[in-house]
Amino acid sequence: MNDMMLLIEPLIPPLRRYARALLRDRAAADDLVQDCLERAIGRWHQRRQDGDARSWLFAILHNLAINRLRQAQRRGRHIAVEEADESVFARQPTQEQGLRLDGLRAALAELPEEQRAVILLVSVEDLTYAEAARVLGVPIGTVMSRLARGREKLRRALEEEPAARETKLRRVK
Amino acid sequence: MSRRPITEDDLQAFVDQALDPPRRAEVEAYLEAHPEVAGRIEGYRRQRAALRAAFAPVADEPLPPELSLARLIEARRRTRTVWWRAAAAALLLGLGGGAGWSLHQAVAPEAPAGPGGILALAQEAADSYAVYAPDRVQPVEIRADQQARLVAWASQRLQRPVKVPDLTASGFRFMGGRLVATPHGPAVLFMYDDDRGTRLVVLSRPMAVERDAPMAERSKGDVAGFTWAQQGIGYSLVGPLPPDRLHPLADTVRRQVAPDA
């Protein structure tokens, strides 16, 4: 019980972050994390002792998130960018990063969910490629190709927009 | 120089700072020589930084109570207990009779205070008072003149020695008693009256839960009750007296029935 507290508790904030980035809805994401934690508590004794708690928890959460997203799709409800909770992004990225928040949000939302998941797990959650492969239940090669495709798509989407904006900025100056 | 060719995987790992230093140096050299690839990789790096910056604050938000791990563990423990007790109750219904009671006794000490505790005993005593105290035909089954027989019978059924409290110093005579059925097994009822016909009852039974509980008052209308438990035996004194008059009587009973008395 005690090692469960010690191992799981520090992971709750990252789990929330991943859920919110995937679902783009604060309440739905927290529901999902709660669901994930309840399952983790119930299955704690079933987890492989040699497996690390982080991959295990992210895998539970990821599967719940994918189920949720597919259910929403089946019901014909596409979560549009405009519908997404504004509080998903609580802070503006700094100006020198040169990427506009709306653009980032829109571009990320446009990615296929499998590419979005890999990018978030690797770029934001700092999972290794092997850990991401475990979470997603795919070979590492698949992780790498999804990562490459997703990043390229995101880059192109983001580079179109700043170009348009720069001309406007120049006019103001 | 026999260099391994740079792969797309190397470039992604470069973005994620996942390369060992020798390989990283090789990728850096490659990027210097290939500005168009370097531009693309720089785009990935900025993208990664922007995503991290955008989502970082989420992990800094205070956790809502629904995500408190301690709470979730506690909630799970509670539902499991409820489920387990429900299963045990179903089993009891199936088994019935004596087997049910012994199983119940085996199960109940696990359960937290609640069903079967002194609150239940207080209710059982109030119910017994309501049924037997007004009875003018046979308020007790075994009368005071056969006290030894009553004590032997009750001790055998309750599986522990039973003492009859003496309230004569307070003006109440022992009338006799009977066995009473409760949801928590047999209980013994003793009845007393005074010169004006005021009747009091003491109900006592073994306690599976709340085996030691301080005296608690529970009064309803004109009838007051004081209930407590000592070393696994519960007692409840009920009568149509103001609580401040019944309380000293309850103290007297408690003193007399105390295991070390």
Chain segment A110-142, per-residue pLDDT in tens: 899 999 999 999 999 999 999 999 999 999 999
pLDDT band at B89 (very low <50, low <70, confident <90, very high): low
- Domain range for A173: 97-173
- In this prediction, residue B259 carries a pLDDT of 78
CA distances from B84 to A37, B26, B58, B73, B92 (A): 22, 63, 38, 16, 12
**Do B158 and B209 reside in the same domain of the chain?**
yes
* Domain edge (last residue) among A88, A110, A139: A88
Inform me whether the pLDDT recorded for A34 exceeds 90.
Answer: yes
**Do A69 and A135 reside in the same domain of the chain?**
no
B186 within domain boundaries:
yes
**Do B38 and B69 reside in the same domain of the chain?**
no
Residues B28-65 have pLDDT tens digits of: 999 999 999 999 999 999 999 999 999 989 999 999 88
**Do B246 and B122 reside in the same domain of the chain?**
yes
CB nearest to B49's CB, from A9, A34, A97: A97
**Do B103 and B130 reside in the same domain of the chain?**
no
Which of A 44-83 lie inside 8 A of B, CB atoms? none
Inform me whether the pLDDT recorded for A86 exceeds 80.
Answer: no
Q: Structural domain tally of chain A?
A: 2
The CATH number of the domain where A163 resides is what?
1.10.10.10
- Domain range for B18: 8-60
Inform me whether the pLDDT recorded for B104 exceeds 50.
Answer: no
**Do B125 and B35 reside in the same domain of the chain?**
no
CB nearest to B12's CB, from A98, A104, A148: A148
pLDDT band at A101 (very low <50, low <70, confident <90, very high): low
Test B18 with A128 for CB contact under 8 angstroms: yes
**Do A16 and A59 reside in the same domain of the chain?**
yes
Residues of A in contact with B72 (CB under 8 A): 34, 37-38, 41
Please give the interface size between A and B, counted as residue pairs whose CB atoms are below 8 Å apart.
112
The CATH number of the domain where A43 resides is what?
1.10.1740.10
**Do B42 and B146 reside in the same domain of the chain?**
no
**Do A75 and A101 reside in the same domain of the chain?**
no
**Do A70 and A108 reside in the same domain of the chain?**
no
Q: Does A27 touch chain B (CB under 8 A)?
A: no
Inform me whether the pLDDT recorded for B113 exceeds 50.
Answer: no
Dihedral angle of Cα B167, B173, B177, B182, to the nearest 10 degrees: -50
Q: How many angstroms separate the CA atoms of B247 and B224, rounded?
A: 9
What mean pLDDT value characterizes chain B? Answer: 86
**Do A101 and A76 reside in the same domain of the chain?**
no
**Which of B14, B44, B55, B66 should be substituted to probe chain A, the one whose Cβ sees the most A Cβ atoms within 10 Å?**
B55
CB nearest to B50's CB, from A9, A88, A104: A104
Q: pTM value? A: 0.54
Q: Does A94 touch chain B (CB under 8 A)?
A: yes
Nearest CA in chain B to A151: B44
Rounded to an integer, the average pLDDT of B228-243 is 93
- In this prediction, residue B201 carries a pLDDT of 96
Test A16 with B12 for CB contact under 8 angstroms: no
Q: Does A98 touch chain B (CB under 8 A)?
A: yes
> What are the structure tokens assigned to B8, written together?
């797309």
B1 within domain boundaries:
no
**Do B177 and B124 reside in the same domain of the chain?**
yes
Kindly tell me the sign of the dihedral angle through the C-alpha atoms of A147, A150, A153, A158: negative
**Do B33 and B99 reside in the same domain of the chain?**
no
Rounded to an integer, the average pLDDT of B94-120 is 52
pLDDT-wise least confident of A71-75, B68-72, B100-104, B216-220: B100-104
**Do B100 and B177 reside in the same domain of the chain?**
no
Nearest CA in chain B to A7: B69
The CATH number of the domain where B157 resides is what?
3.30.200.100
Test A89 with B63 for CB contact under 8 angstroms: no
Q: How many angstroms separate the CA atoms of B95 and B76, rounded?
A: 28
Inform me whether the pLDDT recorded for A102 exceeds 80.
Answer: no
> What are the structure tokens assigned to B51, written together?
């995503």
- In this prediction, residue B112 carries a pLDDT of 41
Q: Does A84 touch chain B (CB under 8 A)?
A: no
**Do A68 and A102 reside in the same domain of the chain?**
no
Q: Structural domain tally of chain B?
A: 3
**Do A108 and A171 reside in the same domain of the chain?**
yes
Residues A135-165 have pLDDT tens digits of: 999 999 999 999 999 999 999 988 776 555 4
Which of B 36-95 lie inside 8 A of A, CB atoms? 40, 43-44, 46-61, 63-64, 66-67, 69-70, 72-73, 76
Q: What is the ipTM of this complex?
A: 0.80
* Domain edge (last residue) among A53, A88, A123: A88
**Do A173 and A106 reside in the same domain of the chain?**
yes
**Do A117 and A137 reside in the same domain of the chain?**
yes
**Do A122 and A152 reside in the same domain of the chain?**
yes
B3 within domain boundaries:
no
B2 within domain boundaries:
no
* Domain edge (last residue) among A88, A118, A146: A88
**Do B132 and B245 reside in the same domain of the chain?**
yes
**Do B152 and B211 reside in the same domain of the chain?**
yes
Inform me whether the pLDDT recorded for B8 exceeds 90.
Answer: yes
Rounded to an integer, the average pLDDT of B102-108 is 40
**Do B54 and B148 reside in the same domain of the chain?**
no
